[in-house]
């Protein structure tokens, strides 16, 4: 289970936190969100660990380097979206010759994301022979999350973001956790054609899965414990997660 690279997405501002510091630098149980996710990702021993930064870039980069001085820092330009973040990361890693094999991608706003869940995701991806695998979970209230859309045979067709979903898609309770494993060759091809013709005007990484289907099988692995992949978008969610954790 060798990971060629792991990319941690930490470029966002997190405006709903209503704070003058980036969301990923808020603390949960004494450690920042960023360091918690880096802990779990680093436990998989990727050949390269990269962190994508943009908002207060140097502040986030310094926090990442204080955790691991060997970390690769990727600066996202002003083009928004998770898809653009990964485009920037893959361009830098490919130029440095640091990516050839499975690539793990993880958002950095899940304080309880654990290495065991990530390990099982990567193992599932490898054993399934997928070109891409998305980590999902089932929520009673999926509001705010991208929905996993499957065909009648259960194959993943696409991920539809909340603002782009129709009524039937909004009823789906299986959601995207913003954690993925791609084969590097599949990822490179899939992100090359991303467009921003959506409600947010952003480059969605989720759109890459539709392109990836043409280059290799796309699968999904459900996180055994939804709590491990619960994202934090505001202080209310942070307080609720802290209460559950304690």
CA-based nearest residue to 195, from 215, 211, 184: 211
Instruction: Please provide the average confidence, as pLDDT, over all residues in the chain.
Output: 92
* Residue in the structure block whose two tokens are 């140097």: 58
pLDDT of residue 150: 92
Residue 244: pLDDT band with limits 50, 70, 90: confident
Q: Count CA within 13 A, CB hemisphere, residue 31.
A: 17
* Encoded tokens for 88: 């920037």
Range of lowest pLDDT (13-22, 184-193, 209-218): 13-22
Range of lowest pLDDT (47-61, 104-118, 120-134, 202-216): 202-216
pLDDT of residue 14: 66
> What are the pLDDT digits (tens) for 33-70?
999 999 999 999 999 999 999 999 999 999 999 999 99
* Residue in the structure block whose two tokens are 């979903």: 165
Range of lowest pLDDT (140-149, 170-179, 235-244): 235-244
pLDDT of residue 201: 86
| 158 has catalytic annotation | no
pLDDT of residue 55: 95
pLDDT top residue among 170 and 98: 170
pLDDT top residue among 87 and 15: 87
Domain 5-245 is of which CATH architecture? Alpha-Beta Complex (3.90)
| pLDDT(148) > 80 | yes
User: Residues 16, 36, 59, 152: which is the catalytic one?
Assistant: 16
pLDDT of residue 88: 98
Instruction: Identify whether the C-beta of residue 8 lies closer than 8 Å to the C-beta of residue 225.
Output: no
pLDDT of residue 17: 67
Instruction: Identify whether the C-beta of residue 36 lies closer than 8 Å to the C-beta of residue 24.
Output: no
Alpha-carbon dihedral sign for residues 192, 52, 146, 45: positive
pLDDT of residue 1: 58
Q: What CA–CA distance (Å, rounded) separates 52 from 222?
A: 25
Instruction: Identify whether the C-beta of residue 202 lies closer than 8 Å to the C-beta of residue 196.
Output: yes
**Crossing angle between the packed helical segments 115-128 and 33-42, to the nearest 10 degrees:** 50
Instruction: Identify whether the C-beta of residue 194 lies closer than 8 Å to the C-beta of residue 87.
Output: yes
> What are the pLDDT digits (tens) for 210-234?
889 887 789 999 999 999 998 888 7
> What are the pLDDT digits (tens) for 62-91?
999 999 999 999 999 999 999 999 999 999
Q: What CA–CA distance (Å, rounded) separates 196 from 172?
A: 24
Range of lowest pLDDT (15-19, 21-25, 118-122): 15-19
């Amino acid at each position: 289970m060798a990971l060629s690279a792991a990319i941690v997405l930490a470029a966002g501002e997190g405006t709903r936190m209503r704070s003058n510091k980036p969301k990923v630098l808020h603390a949960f149980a004494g450690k920042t969100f960023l360091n918690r996710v880096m802990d779990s990702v680093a436990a998989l021993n990727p050949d390269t660990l990269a962190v994508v930064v943009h908002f207060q870039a140097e502040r986030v980069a310094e926090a990442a380097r204080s955790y691991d001085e060997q970390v690769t820092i990727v600066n996202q330009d002003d083009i928004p979206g998770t898809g653009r973040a990964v485009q920037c990361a893959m361009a830098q890693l490919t130029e440095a010759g640091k990516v050839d094999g499975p690539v793990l991608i993880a958002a950095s706003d899940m304080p309880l994301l654990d290495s065991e869940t990530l390990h099982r995701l990567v193992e599932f991806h490898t054993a399934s022979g997928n070109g891409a695998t998305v980590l999902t979970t089932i929520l009673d209230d999926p509001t705010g999350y991208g929905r996993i859309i499957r065909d009648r045979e259960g194959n993943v067709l696409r991920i539809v973001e909340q603002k782009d979903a129709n009524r039937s898609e909004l009823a789906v309770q299986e959601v995207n956790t913003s954690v993925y494993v791609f084969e590097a060759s599949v990822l490179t091809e899939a992100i090359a054609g991303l467009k921003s013709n959506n409600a947010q005007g952003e480059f969605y990484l989720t759109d890459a899965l539709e392109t990836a289907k043409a280059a290799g099988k796309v699968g999904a692995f459900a996180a055994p414990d939804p709590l491990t992949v619960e994202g934090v978008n505001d202080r209310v969610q942070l307080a609720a997660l802290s209460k559950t954790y304690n």
